[in-house]
Amino acid sequence: MVETVEVLINAPAIPQYAHPGDAGADLHAAESVRLEPGERALVGTGVSIALPDGYAAFVVPRSGLASKHGITVVNSPGTVDAGYRGEIKVTLLNTDRAASYEVSAGDRIAQLVIMPVARARFIPVEKLPGSQRGEGGFGSTGYATAGQNPNVQQSGATS
Domain borders along the chain are 26-116
Amino acid identity, residue 129? P
Write down the pLDDT at residue 59.
98
Residues 159, 153: Cα–Cα separation, whole Å: 15
Indicate the pTM of the whole model: 0.82
Domain 26-116 coded CATH 2.70.40.10: yes
Write down the pLDDT at residue 72.
97
Radius of gyration of the CA atoms of the chain, in A: 21
Amino acid identity, residue 103? V
Write down the pLDDT at residue 136.
79
Long-range contacts, 129-138 (Cβ 8 Å, 24+): none
Mean pLDDT, consecutive 10-residue segments, the chain of 159 residues?
Answer: 88 93 96 98 98 97 94 95 97 97 97 96 95 81 69 49
Write down the pLDDT at residue 144.
75
Residues 23, 146: Cα–Cα separation, whole Å: 33
